[in-house]
Each structure stands twice: as structure tokens, then as C-alpha cells.
């Protein structure tokens, strides 16, 4: 597994859409369904992540301190951007600061795999089955089809689709949305079809409150005016690994 720089990472602010943290899947589905706006231009994303409260017990019999894990605290994330009063993301952050509600947020890291392409065949059937020898794809992987001719009815060139079911190492079906219904194909087709993966970087989802919104002007005249906003994280952090 390679390591990556912070360069290229992006911060997005969502809405107050409720998130069900009962399971990883339920939380991920709610976070993914929200609408986000990127805050830019970012300079610092800051630190975030759980730290357990130290619950200390002093045993008199053996004169030994014991440290137990208490409540988890994901901290207050300090983010800094170049101040831009017209940026839609910064406008959203300012509005969130005025609200007592929790807002969803996400960070997208710049660690997406390299896209892969291959010539594929597609059956006209219910469901339509794509053949790509040794595809190595997993369910919900995003892909795009192009063609020199015409795709079967049910599929459109340059549209993002998702792997629905991996039948075996060489074949799979598609859906229009991640986890959606399988696509049936009809009609006729022609030409050579090419399928290309649409990789995504690691995503961290969480929710909390915008605790601060302030300009940072520095000392003296030769400084960029910046925006510092602090995000108090009030939830588990739901991480989605980088994937094709």
C-alpha cells in the first residue's frame, strides 16, 4: 500500500441531513445521499480522529495506576482557507456557524488508483452481462462505457454505471446507481465497446458543528487574508477506502 501527500485533498460541507449510525452501511448510505459543497481554496485541513478519554484508577494494594478507555472524542478540527467571500463553500460554512445544528462533512483524499480500460462484450439479456477477462472489480465499482458503434438499449455511452454483481473473475452485471437495480439490455448493438474504471480516493465522512468562523490577517501588510473555521466533530468517522 503506497503513501500519499496531503496535496489534492478537498473538504466539503454538507447539510443537516440525519445520519443513522446503527451500522456502517446505514451511516454510509445517509452520508452518500447528502449534497455537499467544496470549501476552497483550502490551505490546511487540520487533524481529526478519535482519542479515548483516560480513565485513571489508582490501586492501593499494588501501588499501580491503571488506565482505562473512556469516551471517544474526535476533536475540534481547525481548517484554514484563503478568504473568499464569493466562494459557495465559505458561504455555507458561515451559515452553518450561525446554526446550532450538526452538519455533515467529508474529506476526499488524493489517493485514487489509476483508471484501467479494456475492450468488453455485453450480452443482450435480462440482466445484461459484461465480459472483461480478469476484471478484478468489486461490487459498486464505478465504470464508464464508450463505443465505436452503438451500445445495447439500456446503456448509454459516457454515463457512469456501477458493478452490481460480480458473477466470476471475468463477468459482472451493472446498475445505474451504487447498490441499485440490475440493468437489463435489449435491442441491437454494434462496434467495439470499451469499459473504463472511475477510481475514487479515500473519503472520510463525519458530522458536527461549525464552532468558529474568523478572518486571519496576520501581522503587518504582506499577508494573505485567510479564513479559519473550526469544526467540532460529534460523530463516528465513516471511512470509505480508495477504490476503482
Task: Tell me: do 150 and 213 sit in the same domain.
Answer: no
Q: Mean pLDDT score of the chain, rounded to an integer?
A: 95
% pLDDT > 90, the chain: 91
Task: Tell me: do 96 and 214 sit in the same domain.
Answer: yes
Q: DSSP letter for 148, please.
A: S
- In a domain, residue 212? The reply is yes
Give per-residue pLDDT as tens, 7-66: 999 999 999 999 999 999 899 999 999 999 999 999 999 999 999 999 999 999 999 999
For residue 3, being part of any structural domain is answered with no
Domain count, the chain: 2
Please check whether residue 45 lies inside any domain of the structure.
yes
Assigned domain for 182 exists: yes
Over residues 185-217, the pLDDT tens digits come to 999 999 999 999 999 999 999 999 999 999 999
* Helices and strands, counts by H and E, the chain: 2, 16
Q: 83 with 164, same domain?
A: no
For the chain, give the percent of residues with pLDDT over 70.
100
Give me the CATH number covering residue 26. 4.10.410
Vertex 222 angle, CA 217 and 227, to 5°: 25
In a domain, 91, yes or no: yes
Residues 95, 143 within the same domain:
no
47/29 Cα distance (integer angstroms):
25
Query: What is the rounded CA–CA span in Å between residue 124 and residue 224?
Result: 59
Check whether residue 141 and residue 70 sit in a common domain.
Answer: no
Looking at residue 178, its pLDDT comes to: 82
Do 90 and 140 lie in one domain? The reply is no
| 162 in the same domain as 54 | no
Rg of the chain (C-alpha set): 23
**Model pLDDT for residues 108-142, shown as the tens digit of each residue:** 999 999 999 999 999 999 999 999 999 999 988 99
Instruction: Say whether both 222 and 158 belong to one domain.
Output: no
Residue 150 in domain = yes
CATH number for the domain spanning 124: value is 2.40.30.20
Q: Which domain holds residue 207?
A: 10-110+202-240
Shared-domain flag, residues 62 and 77? yes
| Residue 90 sits in the same domain as residue 165 | no
Q: Is residue 47 domain-resident? A: yes
Amino acid at each position: 500500500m503506497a503513501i500519499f501527500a496531503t496535496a489534492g485533498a478537498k473538504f466539503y460541507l454538507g447539510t443537516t441531513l440525519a445520519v443513522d449510525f446503527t451500522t456502517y452501511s446505514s451511516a454510509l448510505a445517509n452520508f452518500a445521499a447528502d449534497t455537499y459543497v467544496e470549501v476552497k481554496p483550502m490551505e490546511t485541513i487540520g487533524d481529526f480522529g478519535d482519542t479515548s478519554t483516560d480513565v485513571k484508577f489508582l490501586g492501593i494494594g499494588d501501588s499501580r495506576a491503571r488506565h482505562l478507555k473512556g469516551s471517544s472524542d474526535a476533536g475540534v478540527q481547525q481548517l484554514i482557507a484563503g478568504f473568499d467571500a464569493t466562494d459557495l463553500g465559505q458561504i455555507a460554512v458561515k451559515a452553518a456557524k450561525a446554526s446550532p445544528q450538526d452538519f455533515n462533512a467529508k474529506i476526499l483524499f488524493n489517493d485514487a488508483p489509476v483508471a484501467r480500460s479494456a475492450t468488453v462484450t455485453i450480452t443482450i439479456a435480462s440482466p445484461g452481462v459484461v465480459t472483461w477477462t480478469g476484471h478484478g472489480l468489486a461490487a459498486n465499482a464505478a465504470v464508464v462505457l464508450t463505443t465505436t458503434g452503438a451500445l445495447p438499449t439500456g446503456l448509454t455511452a459516457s454515463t457512469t454505471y456501477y458493478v452490481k454483481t460480480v458473477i466470476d473473475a471475468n463477468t459482472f452485471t451493472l446498475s445505474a446507481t451504487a447498490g441499485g437495480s440490475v440493468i437489463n439490455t435489449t435491442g441491437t448493438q454494434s462496434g467495439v465497446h470499451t469499459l473504463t474504471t472511475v477510481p475514487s480516493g479515500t473519503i472520510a465522512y463525519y458530522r458536527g458543528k461549525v464552532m468558529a468562523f474568523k478572518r486571519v490577517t496576520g501581522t503587518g501588510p504582506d499577508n494573505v487574508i485567510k479564513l479559519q473555521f473550526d469544526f467540532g466533530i460529534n460523530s463516528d468517522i465513516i471511512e470509505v477506502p480508495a477504490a476503482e
